[in-house]
Homo-oligomer: A and B are copies of this chain.
Amino acid sequence: MKQVFNEIKIKTNGQGLYDFTKETISWVKEQKISNGILNINILHTSASLLIQENADPDVLHDIKFFFDKIAPMNNKLYTHTTEGKDDMPAHIKSSLTNNQLTLSIKNKDLILGTWQGLYLFEHRLEKHTRVLSHHIIGD
């Protein structure tokens, strides 16, 4: 059994979904592990992870819009307001989506559907560098 760890950093420039499928797949292919489990954790609670459709960009637009509507940037709704109007909605959106994704690797390929992409969902307005821990266990 082998294990390997890595951090992939994604620079974000405001709210929205950032596709990191290529970065992850290309790192997986470089490792000397053919089959195993890939665990991805985002080390933040104001940005999150999603597996979503990689075909029509309108899907990503509508997803962003839905989460903005359900957790609006309106300080009157929240107690935690010291970090800006986007911070508490960010924590809520993070709670509604994922902090981590666990994927399977078979013959050096991620098991994903044809239309599935891996997305970092940035919930803050300012620029950030987000750290995604990657860890494979397999052989």
Question: Interface of A with B (CB < 8 Å)?
Answer: 1, 3, 5, 35-37, 39, 41-46, 50-53, 56, 58-59, 61-63, 65-67, 70-71, 78-80, 82, 88, 91-92, 94-104, 106, 111-116, 131, 133, 135, 137-139
Number of copies of this protein chain within its complex = 3
A115 near B80 with CB under 8 A, answer no
A39 near B37 with CB under 8 A, answer yes
**Residues of A contacting B: mostly:** mixed
| Supplied contacts A43-B111, A53-B91, A104-B133, 8 more A-B pairs, CB within 8 Å | A5-B106, A41-B112, A45-B51, A56-B82, A67-B95, A95-B96, A111-B133, A111-B135
A104 near B37 with CB under 8 A, answer no
